[in-house]
Structure 1
């Protein structure tokens, strides 16, 4: 009986330790926004919707970074999304744009990673509508602490 009780208590302790161990990766909730711009005929319109989420591996690395953007208007503009992070020294790192050129109703998504030796304190996304190389409308998702 004593042997069985010791084994049960030992297994219970292991279960408590496993349950109390922090997760290796922190998965953030999906965040999105709508990029708007002003037109002479329709006023303020939504040209793109985009967003994403990521796993925070440590203070310098994000894994499973999801970026997704959809063109919502037949306006001859293209839409794009990029990751933005804030470094430990307070400067912002604007990552590369990912664009969709195929027109209204189309979308695309990308899965990537981000590593910055300057640290990553905050993470968010910028979604934009472009006329050529010029941004005509944009939005930022809510920043997430890492």
Structure 2
């Protein structure tokens, strides 16, 4: 995260908000519980959400960001692979710098996430329609 904060970008404020965050050089850290309503506002107003750890599936942060079309940057070989696509430029492979993925997210904005969200929406409708027509066990 320190390397991300070292990116020479204007008008970017790096924030880590939530219980348990340690101080991180270059980041404004707020180590406290965030309510659901505040989390919605933070997601909606973020230009990019960085998920710098591998075990985040219980938080639902990636799905919530996708629903808001907020770009997500996170590690490969996680639940982000099927969500974003294994070749997404928003994913960071082990040993690779995070800065290029963050820069890509900030430069491209919400449009790629809106396309991904639309694709998942269409897939969910089709899957539910198939289930409704054939039942959960294909009956």
Q: TM-score range by the shorter chain?
A: under 0.3
Greater Rg, structure 1 or structure 2? 1
- Tell me which protein shows more helix as a share of its residues: 2
- Tell me which protein shows more strand as a share of its residues: 1
Superposition TM-score, scaled by structure 2 size: 0.22
Superposition TM-score, scaled by structure 1 size: 0.21
